Amino acid sequence: MLPHLSGVVIESIKRTAGVITLRSGCQTLPVSCPGCGMPSWRVHGRYVRRLGDAPAPVAGSPVVIELTVRRFKCLSSRCPAVTFTEQIEGLAGPHARQTQVLRSMLTSIALCLAGRPGARLAAALGIRIAKDALLDLLCSVPQPSFGTVRFLGVPRTLSPYDP
């Protein structure tokens, strides 16, 4: 039902004020350092990330994932990273406040409607987002590359006095 949460363990689910909150964490050990690739078992600390997720398919309510993330100490003395945070593949990127599923939904809405109309559609789908946030998403979409221009033609405009 929620394939993007396959890398986490859901500890509890609660619904308050129309919002479904999933408390979850990751239990895999060891975790590889992104800088040097060396596995580490030494947990340096923990903190909770709050990620917005796509509305629940059954209830249509907003979903928030409270993800307990662990920081690890890199065991390599040559690695420039002293500590690093575990990343769950396919869930969210570093520093993200939304899951990749929600971000792709909002990007599609922004590409089609942008601003206020997009915010109204998102609200109808159970997603709270400001019109400016949709415009920021629209600006962050990479533009396709057209390659180098070999010939540039400028159309001649006809004036009413030309025969």
**Which tens digit of pLDDT belongs to each residue from 23-37?**
998 878 888 898 888
pLDDT mean over 90-98:
86
Number of independent structural domains in the chain: 2
Q: Is residue 150 part of a domain?
A: no
Last residue of a domain, one of 92, 119, 153: 92
Q: Residues 11, 63: one domain?
A: yes
For residue 90, is pLDDT > 90? no
Mean pLDDT score across all residues of the chain: 86
Angstrom distances, CA of residue 31 to CA of 66, 138, 147: 20, 34, 41
Q: Tell whether pTM > 0.75.
A: no
pLDDT mean over 120-141:
90
Q: Is residue 162 part of a domain?
A: no
Q: How many CB atoms lie within 10 A of CB 84?
A: 20
Which is it for the CA torsion 92, 93, 97, 98, positive or negative? negative
Domain hosting residue 50, numbered range? 7-92
